[in-house]
Amino acid sequence: MVLLPLLTSMLLSSYFHPGSVVDAQRSFTIRNITLSVEPSAEVPRGTNVTIRCTAVVSSSGQEPLNRKYSIYQGSNNIYTKNTITSEDLLYLLPDARVSNTGKYKCAINIEGKNMQSDATKLTVTGLSKPTLHLNKGVVSEGEDVTARCTAPGETGFIFFILDVDSKIIEEKLVNSTEVEFKLRFSSVGYHKVHCTYSVLMMPDSFKSEESNTITVSVKEMSITPVLEIYPQSRIYEGDVLSITCTIRNMAFNPSTAPIYLYLSQGTRLLSSGDTKVNYSTVALAEDPMDFECRLEIGTVAKVTTKMVPVTELFSTPTITMSPTVVFQREDMSLTCNSEKVASERINRENVTYSLEPPNFLLTSTKPGVFSGKTMMYEFNYTCVAQAKGITKYSATLSVKPKVLVSIPKISVVQGRAVLGEPFEILCHSDIGSYPINYTLLWDYEPLNTTTVWLPKEQARFKVTIRRPEEINKFMCEAKNNLKITQDPLSKRLNATVIVPLTEPTLTILPELAEVSEGDQLYLICGTKGSPPVTFKFYRVGDEQPKFTTTSNINHTHYRVNELTKGHGGTYYCEAINQANNVFSERVTVEVQMALWKKALIGGICLVVLSLLVLGCVLYFKSKRGKKEADAELSERSATL
């Protein structure tokens, strides 16, 4: 009892071991499977080919294994067999064809365990020559012919191609060795017909050689279209044309197909019928008088054409304007005229003229001439000429009246002028047709003229003035109409004139010799020129100005309170306006010692001097007293 569970456990562990199958009696493993092609992997068409599948299986026990073999061509399963024998599986391809070309694989399944061989390619070379058969060799135009193309002995999907006179006429893909084509010849003569085919083995295809060539003779049908146009002599505009489209040799029509007749003029279909077509129209020189009579029988088409020359009664009118350039509300005249007239049919007086739109603000003064005032805006006119029911139109004439130039405006380009320097004066009119001639005047005397052709252009004049009052002498004149003698004139130029600054003068107060510590120092900078003026005071050695101010007068000052020795140095000033900037000469300021300091030093010196004098006096007195004492003592000694 103890051994039974142990035996069961051993059997289960053996059954589920990878790479083998185990039951109570046997176990097996598929070791290898291969596929080979005999007699070789590349064979000519008609060879008996054998596909051999060899499987190597190891097993225990005596019971045979159930084997399921599958043969694949590409991804398609083409053969399956169940067997219990261990012999190789053979798949036969008798009388091989190109359609048998492909990659083959072999697969085996034994009780749920699978293995597949590597792919081996079989190539079958050579295709049979196609054969072509036609049911007729001699036909008439439009008659049907049946062509049959055969690929003897081939298999698989075959792509057939039919050629007539080296041109591909039709193609068909079939799963058959033969195919039929329907032919219909529409041109007379001899035509050569042959066929080819290709066996499709994706992604490749294999093409055959050309079939036998058959020559087909196509005879012309005697039935033809007839086109008749009356009158047949010289035709003028307005003449009525009678046109007939019929069939000749109708009795010799061999075809049973329905008959159609079509009468056309250019691309316009005029009429149609079965045996006869009649049509009437008025001859016009401006239209192409090319007529076509077309006969259709099945797929056969026969055509005859005629061109009818038409003589003009009168030529297309032209319209002209006088004068060629006009301004709004000016007088103008339009003239309509047909240069050529067929005098053998009509007189020139028979041609009447009118305007479209009809006489709009213009009146006819004589035949073909219309006069009046120009419009305020662009307007289009067309001349209409009529005679004998024929109407012709001229090309449209666009009358674009010009606009008189308005009073010009005069200004300085940058808004200001600098005295003595060149500046530009701009002349401009808000309204007026181009080109416009602008003239710059100096007290009504012309200085210069320029022409403006486009809106983006400007009339600019470069000038220079020496005195400010000269700015008001400039004026502008604008002109775009030569007929006008009094041209618009602008107002006098009114602009700011900037007078450049003169070299400034730097004045020091008090006088340089009197500048002392504790005093107030005034640096006064003055110049001449147009204000506002910006003044800057500098001391040499300092990066920034000591003082900056803007004044509407031409001078200013910089004050230094409580002068010290540190305020000494070299000073200068700068004056700036819209025209220029100028610098003064440099002035050196030396700060003297204060008076009280001088007095103190003088007093101290006097005291020291007095003390020295006193000391000297006392010294000399002491020395003299000693001498006198010594003398008196000597005298006293001598006396004794």
The answer to whether residues 348 and 260 belong to one domain is: no
Q: How many domains does the chain have?
A: 6
190, part of any domain: yes
635, part of any domain: no
What is the rounded CA–CA span in Å between residue 335 and residue 337?
7
As given in the structure block, the two tokens for residue 179 are 């195919």
Instruction: Using the 3D structure, point to which of 476, 497, 518 is the last residue of a domain.
Output: 497
Which pLDDT value is given to residue 179? Answer: 95
3-state SS of 336-384?
EECCCECCCCCCHHHCEEEEECCCCCEEEEECCEEEEECCCCCEEEEEE
* SS3 (DSSP) at 618: helix
The answer to whether residues 35 and 114 belong to one domain is: yes
The strand pairing partners of 311, in sequence order, are 236
What is the rounded CA–CA span in Å between residue 415 and residue 418?
10
Instruction: Choose among 151, 140, 137, 154: nearest CA to 193.
Output: 137
| Distance from the Cα of residue 630 to its chain's centroid | 134
Which pLDDT value is given to residue 543? Answer: 87
| Span 386-408, pLDDT tens digits | 998 899 999 999 999 999 999 99
Q: What is the CATH number of the domain that holds 358?
A: 2.60.40
Residue type, 113: K
Query: Which residues lie below 8 Å from residue 177, measured CB to CB, with a gap of 6+?
Result: 150, 151, 152, 153, 154, 155, 158
Which pLDDT value is given to residue 36? Answer: 95
The answer to whether residues 486 and 509 belong to one domain is: no
Residue 620: how many CA atoms within 13 Å on its side-chain side? 5
594, part of any domain: no
The answer to whether residues 338 and 378 belong to one domain is: yes
Residue 496 near residue 417, CB atoms below 8 Å: yes
Instruction: Using the 3D structure, point to which of 308, 343, 372 is the last residue of a domain.
Output: 308
Q: What is the CATH number of the domain that holds 436?
A: 2.60.40.10
Output phi, psi for 454, to 5 deg.
-135, 155
The answer to whether residues 489 and 454 belong to one domain is: yes
Which pLDDT value is given to residue 594? Answer: 60
Domain that holds residue 69: 28-125
The answer to whether residues 159 and 242 belong to one domain is: no
Residue 543 has what DSSP assignment? Answer: S
What is the rounded CA–CA span in Å between residue 493 and residue 472?
5
The answer to whether residues 211 and 264 belong to one domain is: no
Instruction: Using the 3D structure, point to which of 562, 589, 616 is the last residue of a domain.
Output: 589
Residue for token pair 């450049």? 500
Pairing of strands 436-442, 474-479: antiparallel
Angle at 526 between CA 520 and CA 532, to 5 degrees: 115
pTM exceeding the 0.85 threshold for the entire prediction: no
The answer to whether residues 550 and 585 belong to one domain is: yes
Strand segments (E) across 252-309: 259-265, 268-273, 276-282, 290-297, 300-307
605, part of any domain: no
Counts for the chain of helices (H) and strands (E), in that order: 2, 52
397, part of any domain: no
38, part of any domain: yes
Instruction: Choose among 221, 299, 234: nearest CA to 260.
Output: 299
401, part of any domain: no
Residue for token pair 């399963």? 77
Strand segments (E) across 39-130: 42-44, 49-59, 67-73, 76-83, 89-93, 102-110, 113-116, 120-125
The answer to whether residues 383 and 467 belong to one domain is: no
597, part of any domain: no
What is the rounded CA–CA span in Å between residue 525 and residue 504?
6
Alpha-carbon dihedral 291, 296, 302, 307, rounded to 10 degrees: 0
The answer to whether residues 64 and 100 belong to one domain is: yes
Positions of the chain with pLDDT under 50: 1-24
Cβ neighbours around 54 below 10 Å, total: 16
Return contacts of 198-203, CB within 8 angstroms, 24+ apart.
198/158, 198/159, 198/161, 199/97, 199/98, 199/99, 199/127, 199/151, 199/154, 199/156, 199/157, 199/158, 199/159, 200/156, 200/157, 200/158, 200/159, 200/173, 201/98, 201/99, 201/101, 201/102, 201/156
The answer to whether residues 233 and 303 belong to one domain is: yes
The answer to whether residues 119 and 147 belong to one domain is: no
